[in-house]
Amino acid sequence: MQYKSNGILCQSKVTVINMQSSTLIAMSGGVDSAVAAYLIKTSVGSAAGATMKLSDSGANEAAAAAETARRLGIEHYVLDFSAEFSREVVDRFCSTYLHGATPNPCIYCNRKIKFGCFLERALELGYDKVATGHYARIEYDRESGRYILLRALDRAKDQSYVLSVLNQRQLSKTLLPLGDLTKPQVRALAAELGLGVAERPESQDICFIPDHDHARFIREHTGKIPPRGKFIDTDGNVLGEHSGIINYTIGQRKGLGVSVGQPIYVCRIDAAGNQVVLGGEDSLYEKRLYANELNFVAIESLAGSMRVTAKIRYSHKEVPAVITMASERELCVEFDSPQRAITRGQTVVLYSDNAVVASGTICRSGGGDAPAGGCQG
């Protein structure tokens, strides 16, 4: 569909579906989901909005979403997934840290809640598809018979990384109407429509830890206080005492309380031995990683090797690599050049041009064995 924003002709490619079909739009109370709701409402036969209740907070977001739905003339629901969110996202987040890895809870939430529980509830309510305000694109490839996840045209806002865990069924039932728009275009359209959320600030960081103190949150949520242990160097020499492994992540330099006369970083966390290994900048670089919990998107499976570009965290710049299967359930990513701070528990996403090839959870790097506990608890 086309529309004008500040006199500029814009285009959003909302998949044309049967006018008898219906779509449930995930509405967070922000500008992206509000504009997504408008685009869906004007392009499909029937649409409604729904806000996910994930905790005891969030009443303001639900109220903002309800007001947007009223202005757009669509029905609005509040769907309570707080128990599922606590179990599938929060509990796993805590367990992963307690096992010495660093999780990305947005990945868990997308896989299990936003495109898991939300999608299933939408289908139960009689809707055919769901839509969200994510910046990415989904296209169906007739030749392969697969739904392909593509980067957004606005590379600065692209969210294909956090959607890379969606399976074929989830992709087939999802609409992403913002994939061809830029953020300024979205805000301009919201303003022209008179939506009160046009200048609403974007949400940042971990939604269930607003003060960013994840160690405090883990202690309070689990009732566990990780024991103190030893800082050691790469040769096994004791350098001092750490305050519990949940306080550290790969590449960390600040807050170590260790002085050796040169910059020193966390280069490995040994949960089984309750040790944090420290080393110089060069100790952070490795050329290979292994990932499990694999999700193949553009291809059904991998035979032989394949050239790709890879992202080892959301903010990481893509770099060239070759992928092969290390075992039936484990993928090896061999980078053209060593990468800094490859972190167990994070998601690696693999691209071919603009398409997501596959994703997986990093479970080890270099050539060593997987640490006790694997990628998670």
| DSSP-derived secondary structure letter, 342 | -
Name the residue type at position 16.
V
Is residue 97 within 8 A of residue 218, CB to CB? The reply is yes
Active site residues: 109, 207
Query: The sheet that has 46-53: what strands, in order across it?
Result: 75-80, 46-53, 22-26, 129-131, 174-175
Is residue 297 within 8 A of residue 164, CB to CB? The reply is yes
Work out the number of other CB atoms within 10 angstroms of the CB of residue 197. Answer: 23
Among the listed residues 69, 70, 161, 167, the one whose alpha carbon sits nearest the alpha carbon of residue 120: 167
Sign of CA dihedral 319, 325, 327, 329: positive
CA distance 105 to 112: 11
Is residue 183 within 8 A of residue 138, CB to CB? The reply is no
CA distance 71 to 60: 17
